[in-house]
Chain A
Amino acid sequence: MGQTRFQELQSRIAQIGLEHHGETIIENSRRNAQSVRQTIRESARDERPCLIVSAGPSLYRENILPRISGFNGTIVATDGAYIQCIRAGITPDWVITIDPHPTRIVRWFGDPHFEENSRHDDYFARQDLDVDFRENSARQNAANIEAVDAHPCNLAIATSAPANVVARTSAFARYWFAPLVDSPVVGSITRQICERTGCPAINTGGTVGTAAYCFARHLGAQNIAVVGMDFGYYAGTPLDQTQEWNMLKAEPDVHDFYPVRNGHWGAGYTSPTYAWYMQNFLDLLDGERVVNCSGGGLLQGPGVECMEVEEWLDGLGN
């Protein structure tokens, strides 16, 4: 029964997302159209090897960032990994953000309304994140604001972004794109957004790490590696630190929603959400080669080659 419910929920996530976000991304895109000055069409082609830095638990657990300090290719960081990069002395070439959530995403850039937006929201406390984000402290948020203000960079920003992220990133060199959320036929959400904003569209696969991969391909990168892209939880992660916990905790067979999987670096467990994200990523990858240097997590499949980040860097001559 559990496996059936697992598959059932996984199959419904797309529809849940559509119902939940469909109106919001159209509304945000309508508002953001007036802020579009340039789009990712104007981004310079960059064929250098590209490292995508996502904010999965392996990023801090495997101490990845200090290990890539010698890399001189292109770094595309997800919004959730941006501040971790800055703290490690790395200013990414690009940061990418897609999520329309009205109060959470701005935290990744330092939230000027931290106390108001974090009240009654345990989202960050429930993540297996770098401890500074989990502790939810106003002092750390103030330090993040300062760090981000000192290191603005190129920002690939989806038209779905909420107003506070748009306001917060006004000093960045912003390149806009539409989230390619459905087949862009006449009447589709994607086509509506593109027509209204004048932006091209990039597929997100449902999550910002996958959007980063699609964006790196758009830049022209052929040799792409990913770190911090886990698509799962470490074996010892308490279930109440998973994204789905509030939804699943009343289920009598709750463990069946978190099946154990073997990853390249050991066993962990997945969830309906992460299993869905990973399948989307593999579908969009469609067998093309990507190197997974996360050092943990569950990402593997056709086209995915797993190795330590040092091995990938050595192969580049770094």
Chain B
Amino acid sequence: MSLLKSNFPTKPVEPDAPEPLDPKAEFERKARESIGGSMVFTERKLRYWNGTDEVSGAAKSDSADRT
């Protein structure tokens, strides 16, 4: 028994389709372009830090920092 070999025309191989956009990444890219006036912000308690003290985790301080 011989192995069958193809003798029919084949479809040309199409180039790889471009990677679909990750909707989440695209959304965030647009967010970065759209939202003005926003800054990094992750600290929700401390309002002022004098730049030298160790962080105690205590809540905001306004008057002590001016000593």
* A14–B42 alpha-carbon span in the complex (Å): 6
Answer whether residue A141 sits at the interface, using C-beta atoms and an 8 A cutoff: no
Residues of A within 8 A of B50 (CB): 41, 200
Main secondary structure of the interface of B (DSSP, over half): loop
- By the criterion CB–CB under 8 Å, are B55 and A123 in contact? no
- By the criterion CB–CB under 8 Å, are B34 and A247 in contact? yes
Answer whether residue B13 sits at the interface, using C-beta atoms and an 8 A cutoff: no
* A205–B48 alpha-carbon span in the complex (Å): 12
Answer whether residue A182 sits at the interface, using C-beta atoms and an 8 A cutoff: yes
Residues of A within 8 A of B43 (CB): 180-184, 190, 203
By beta carbon, the residue of chain B nearest A127 is B36
A241-271 interface code vs B (CB 8 A; 1 in, 0 out): 0011111000000000000000000000000
Pick the contact of A20: B32, B44, B65 (CB < 8 A): B32
**Shortest distance between the CB of B66 and any CB in chain A (Å):** 6
**Shortest distance between the CB of A226 and any CB in chain B (Å):** 16
- Given the known interface contacts A180-B46, A184-B49, the answer about A208 and B37 at a Cβ–Cβ threshold of 8 Å is yes
- By the criterion CB–CB under 8 Å, are B49 and A194 in contact? yes
- Given the known interface contacts A20-B32, A217-B62, the answer about A203 and B37 at a Cβ–Cβ threshold of 8 Å is no
B17-44 interface code vs A (CB 8 A; 1 in, 0 out): 0000000000110111111111111111
- By the criterion CB–CB under 8 Å, are A200 and B34 in contact? no
Interface locus among A96-104, A164-172, A299-307:
A96-104
- By the criterion CB–CB under 8 Å, are B40 and A220 in contact? no
Tally inter-chain residue pairs, CB-CB below 8 A: 148
Interface size on B, residues (CB 8 A): 32
* A80–B45 alpha-carbon span in the complex (Å): 26
Answer whether residue A280 sits at the interface, using C-beta atoms and an 8 A cutoff: yes
**Shortest distance between the CB of B51 and any CB in chain A (Å):** 4
Pick the contact of B39: A98, A123, A183 (CB < 8 A): A98
Q: Which of B30, B40, B52, B55 has the most CB of A within 10 A?
A: B40
* A244–B38 alpha-carbon span in the complex (Å): 12
A83-116 interface code vs B (CB 8 A; 1 in, 0 out): 0000000000000001111001000000000000
User: 30 A-B residue contacts at CB 8 Å?
Assistant: A9-B27, A16-B31, A17-B38, A21-B40, A180-B49, A181-B39, A181-B41, A184-B43, A184-B46, A184-B55, A194-B51, A199-B51, A200-B49, A200-B51, A200-B65, A202-B47, A204-B39, A208-B37, A217-B47, A217-B48, A217-B60, A218-B65, A220-B66, A247-B30, A247-B31, A247-B33, A277-B38, A284-B44, A284-B60, A286-B45
**Beyond A21-B39, A206-B38: 15 further Cβ-contacts under 8 Å?**
A17-B40, A17-B41, A41-B50, A123-B36, A184-B51, A184-B55, A194-B52, A200-B48, A200-B65, A206-B41, A217-B47, A246-B33, A246-B34, A283-B44, A286-B59
User: Which 6 pairs between the two chains have the least Cβ-Cβ distance?
Assistant: A194-B51, A206-B41, A247-B30, A181-B40, A217-B62, A247-B34
Contact residues of A with B, CB < 8 Å? 9, 12-14, 16-22, 25, 41, 45, 80, 98-101, 104, 123, 160, 178-185, 189-190, 194-195, 198-208, 214, 217-218, 220, 243-247, 273, 277, 280, 283-284, 286
